[in-house]
Structures are given as structure tokens and as C-alpha cells.
């Protein structure tokens, strides 16, 4: 009996509240700032349930760039004052410091708590509903997208009717851009993420982690059964050309099979290799005449394969690579020369520098451990997040 009472008491105490927020920005990269703020709200304030369309609005009452505005519905366990403090903390993290008597001015980020359930709150620090929301078209228009029939508890009208009587709504311009509720929905905009790196850099481990967390189709390089690989490590000059040709044939076949078969139940693809690695390794291992022949075959194949939206290169210094190789214990890798790994690192760097049009990230993992330290893994995800936002939107 006591257990049941405690269970229901917990349910009541953890009741999620519905809060509506207004967001705006007219400084810097407005879309980027607002999208990052939404992710922070989702992490710290409450689950983002709905997002309005984005509207561009002229600055009013002062000279400044146009604003981007939007509204959110969140489900939150925070009480109103705690939610307000969280909002203000998020604003400060984006460089916004509210003044005691703040007038109209440009701002990097503006977040207002408009509505909290159907409550009316009047304190020295918080007024809900927001005292000016019913006068502002740039608030009511996006709010009408997600709560058109919400009844304003003090004005005694729903949001649509309040919008109809508001001046200046004709100045709002709807943006073709859209915001995403969380990182997962942003990552789902990718088609193909390639994670590359030297031998032992951690690309397969990271690919598996991302595929698991974000429901991505996992494409892994199959190379352990290559009959030439152990022989190559024993006699590179003799087995380099057959090894590289067999790798190229295998990679091309597997890569085209895996990347052309779309999985309806997955959000995107993540691979622990890109087929261009074939040319990087071949340039290191082959003689000049062999490489020239190899490149002709490669160029023909490369035209046909899918290119990644983002190319993430994991850099590890050579000492760290040798440690990782020793730990994973593949017998045929234990005698890989130091200078061979150095050449591979240089080869990848040359490739990235020689292809500036490719959407690349170079990630130095020399002092990171994304498997054992969650903060390091989070840092990698944040860099991916930023790359998507800054290049695609």
C-alpha cells in the first residue's frame, strides 16, 4: 500500500507542464544561434514538442538588422521561476546580458516565456502571460502556427483572434528555413557520413556509436579476410599491387551495394571508410608505374560511387596509433612500421587539402578518449552538429 502511494505521488510530482516560448535574434548568424538555443532548451528546459515556422521581422523602435522569430511548445518539469532562470542562463551562454531597464536594441538571442499552462502569474521577476505578447505580431504569428486556439486567460481571446487585431502583421515574411527539435532530427538531414582515419584511429568504434545513437545504417569495411594483407605486411614490395587492386575491387563492390540500398527504417548512413582511401593507400605502397595504372582504374570507379555529405577525419599521432594497434591485437598488424603510419597520415592530409570542395572535418583525437569519456564523445557530436548547421542551412 505504501509503495503504491509513493508511486502515484511521484507521478503527480513529475507532472509535465506545457510552456510556450518566443525566440528572436538579429545579430550574427541568426539561424545558427536560434537553432543552437533550441537544442539547449531541449536539453535543459524541457522537451521541445512543437516548433513554428520561422518569420523575418523588421526591427521596431530602433535601427537594426531584421529579426528571425519563432515560437516553441515545450513539456517541462520545471516550475515557472526555474524555467525562467534556465532561459536566462541559456541567453547568457550566447552572450546576452539583460539590463535592468532594457530598451529596444539588437540582440544575439532573446527568449521569452509567453505562457505556462493556463496560469496567471504576477511577481517582481515574472509575469505570465507575457505582458506584451498580445500586441506583437512577430510573437502571435508564429504562436498561431502551433497554438491557434489557445485561449489567452487575461485577454479572453484565442491566439488567432489576437493576431487578427494586431498591427504590423503584414511586415512579417515567412522564411523557407526550418528549425529542428533536437540533434537527432538534425542528423537525419544527412544522407551519408563517412568517418575516416589511419589504422587504429577509432573510426569503426565511432561509426558504431553514432549509428546506434542516431538510428543510422552502418556500413563497415570488410577487410579481415583479404588473403593478401598478412603477406603484404611481410613483403610490401611484392604484394602491394595485388593487395591494393583486391582492396579496390572489394571496396567498390561493397560500397556500391551498401550505399545504393536505402533503408526506410534508418535516418542516414554512416560508414567507417570512404572509397577514396584506396587511392591514398595505393599512392604510398605502389611504385610510380603501378600507381598510374591503378589510378586509371580507380578514377573510372570513383565517378560512380556515392560521395559523403560530411567527411570526418580522425587524426591520431603515430605513437597513439601504435598503442591502439597493439591493444586490438591483430597479429598481422603488430609489425606495421612507424614510418608507414606517418605516410598514411600525410596522405590523408594531402587528400583533404587537395579537395577543398569536400565538406571535411579534421578531428584531433590525440588527447581524447571518446569511448571512456562521454564529454569527448559529446564534443565530437557538437562539431558534427555545427558543421551541418553552418554548411547546409
| CATH code, domain carrying 134 | 3.30.70.560
In a domain, 143, yes or no: yes
For residues 28 and 107, give the distance between their C-alpha atoms in angstroms, rounded to a whole number.
9
pLDDT above 70 for 390: yes
pLDDT above 70 for 101: no
pLDDT above 60 for 225: yes
In a domain, 234, yes or no: yes
Q: Read off the pLDDT band of 224 (50, 70, 90).
A: low
Domain-ending residue, one of 181, 202, 236: 181
Residues in contact with 33: Cβ distance below 8 Å, sequence separation at least 6, in sequence order: 25, 27, 94, 108, 109
pLDDT of residue 4: 46
Inter-residue contact 174 to 183 (CB < 8 Å): no
Burial class (CB in 10 A: 0-12, 13-18, 19+), 275: buried
For residues 130 and 114, give the distance between their C-alpha atoms in angstroms, rounded to a whole number.
5
pLDDT of residue 11: 40
Whether residues 232 and 120 fall in one domain: no
In a domain, 375, yes or no: yes
In a domain, 3, yes or no: no
CATH at residue 244: 3.40.50.300
Q: Read off the pLDDT band of 100 (50, 70, 90).
A: low
Whether residues 118 and 238 fall in one domain: no
Residues in contact with 202: Cβ distance below 8 Å, sequence separation at least 6, in sequence order: 314, 316, 324, 365, 370, 371
Whether residues 19 and 87 fall in one domain: yes
Q: Which positions are catalytic?
A: 272
Whether residues 193 and 325 fall in one domain: yes
Our count of domains for the chain comes to: 2
| Between 228 and 110, the higher pLDDT residue | 110
List of long-range contacts for 233-237, beta carbons under 8 Å, 24+ apart = 233/332, 233/333, 233/335, 233/336, 236/285
pLDDT above 50 for 3: no
Whether residues 79 and 158 fall in one domain: yes
Q: What share of the chain is helix, strand, coil (3-state, %, to 5)?
A: 45, 15, 35
In a domain, 2, yes or no: no
pLDDT of residue 359: 92
Inter-residue contact 111 to 84 (CB < 8 Å): no
376 Rama sector, left if φ>0, alpha if ψ -120 to 50, beta otherwise: alpha
Whether residues 56 and 105 fall in one domain: yes
For residues 47 and 378, give the distance between their C-alpha atoms in angstroms, rounded to a whole number.
19
Percent of the chain with pLDDT over 70: 94
Whether residues 84 and 226 fall in one domain: no
Whether residues 163 and 199 fall in one domain: no
| 3 state SS of 83 | helix
Whether residues 59 and 125 fall in one domain: yes
Tens of pLDDT, residue by residue over 37-78, are 999 999 999 999 999 999 999 988 778 899 999 999 999 999
Q: Domain containing 258: what range?
A: 184-392
Nearest to 352 by CA among 193, 196, 187, 190: 196
All cell numbers assigned to 345: 597520415
Prediction pTM value:
0.86
Tens of pLDDT, residue by residue over 24-42, are 999 999 999 999 999 999 9
Whether residues 163 and 234 fall in one domain: no
Tens of pLDDT, residue by residue over 301-327, are 999 899 999 999 999 999 999 988 988
Q: Read off the pLDDT band of 264 (50, 70, 90).
A: confident
Whether residues 169 and 228 fall in one domain: no
For residues 48 and 66, give the distance between their C-alpha atoms in angstroms, rounded to a whole number.
25
Q: Read off the pLDDT band of 231 (50, 70, 90).
A: confident
All cell numbers assigned to 86: 534556465
In a domain, 287, yes or no: yes
Tens of pLDDT, residue by residue over 278-297, are 999 899 889 999 999 999 99
Domain-ending residue, one of 181, 207, 224: 181
For residues 6 and 273, give the distance between their C-alpha atoms in angstroms, rounded to a whole number.
52
In a domain, 60, yes or no: yes
Nearest to 181 by CA among 61, 359, 46: 46
In a domain, 1, yes or no: no
User: Mean pLDDT lowest for which of 118-122, 126-130, 222-226?
Assistant: 222-226
Q: What does the CA dihedral 246, 252, 257, 259 come to, rounded to 10 degrees?
A: 140
pLDDT above 60 for 9: no
Whether residues 214 and 354 fall in one domain: yes
Domain-ending residue, one of 181, 208, 239: 181
pLDDT of residue 5: 44
Amino acid at each position: 500500500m505504501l509503495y503504491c502511494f509513493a508511486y502515484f505521488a511521484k507521478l503527480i510530482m513529475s507532472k509535465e507542464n506545457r510552456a510556450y516560448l518566443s525566440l528572436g535574434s538579429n545579430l550574427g548568424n541568426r539561424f545558427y544561434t536560434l537553432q543552437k538555443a533550441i537544442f539547449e532548451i531541449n536539453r535543459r528546459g524541457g522537451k521541445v514538442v512543437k516548433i513554428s515556422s520561422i518569420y523575418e521581422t523588421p526591427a521596431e523602435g530602433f535601427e537594426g538588422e531584421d529579426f528571425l522569430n519563432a515560437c516553441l511548445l515545450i513539456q517541462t518539469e520545471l516550475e515557472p521561476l526555474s524555467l525562467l532562470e534556465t532561459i536566462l542562463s541559456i541567453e547568457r551562454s550566447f552572450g546576452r546580458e539583460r539590463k535592468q531597464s532594457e530598451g529596444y536594441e539588437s540582440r544575439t538571442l532573446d527568449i521569452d516565456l509567453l505562457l505556462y499552462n493556463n496560469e496567471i502569474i504576477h511577481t517582481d521577476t515574472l509575469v505570465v502571460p507575457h505582458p506584451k505578447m498580445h500586441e506583437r505580431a512577430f510573437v502571435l504569428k508564429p504562436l498561431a502556427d502551433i497554438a491557434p486556439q489557445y485561449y489567452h486567460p487575461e485577454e479572453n481571446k484565442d491566439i488567432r483572434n489576437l493576431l487578427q487585431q494586431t498591427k504590423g502583421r503584414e511586415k512579417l515574411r515567412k522564411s523557407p528555413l526550418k528549425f529542428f527539435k533536437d540533434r537527432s532530427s538534425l542528423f537525419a538531414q544527412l544522407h551519408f557520413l563517412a568517418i575516416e582515419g589511419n589504422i587504429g584511429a577509432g573510426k569503426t568504434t565511432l561509426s558504431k556509436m553514432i549509428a546506434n545513437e542516431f538510428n543510422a545504417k552502418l556500413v563497415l569495411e570488410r577487410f579481415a579476410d583479404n588473403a593478401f594483407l598478412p603477406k603484404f605486411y611481410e613483403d610490401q614490395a611484392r604484394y602491394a599491387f595485388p593487395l591494393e587492386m583486391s582492396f579496390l575491387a572489394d571496396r567498390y563492390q561493397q560500397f556500391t551495394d551498401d550505399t545504393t540500398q536505402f533503408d526506410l527504417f534508418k535516418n542516414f548512413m554512416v560508414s567507417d571508410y570512404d572509397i577514396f582511401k584506396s587511392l591514398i593507400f595505393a599512392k604510398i605502397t605502389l611504385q610510380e608505374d603501378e600507381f598510374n595504372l591503378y589510378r586509371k582504374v580507380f578514377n573510372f570507379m570513383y565517378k560512380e560511387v556515392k560521395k559523403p555529405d560530411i567527411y570526418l577525419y580522425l587524426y591520431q599521432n603515430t605513437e597513439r596509433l601504435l598503442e591502439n594497434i597493439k591493444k586490438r591485437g591483430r597479429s598481422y598488424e603488430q609489425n606495421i612500421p612507424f614510418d608507414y603510419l606517418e605516410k598514411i597520415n600525410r596522405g590523408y592530409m594531402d587528400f583533404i587539402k587537395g579537395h577543398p570542395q569536400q565538406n571535411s572535418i579534421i578531428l584531433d583525437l590525440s588527447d581524447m578518449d571518446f569511448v571512456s569519456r562521454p564529454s569527448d564523445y559529446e564534443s565530437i557530436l557538437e562539431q558534427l552538429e555545427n558543421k551541418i548547421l553552418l554548411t547546409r542551412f
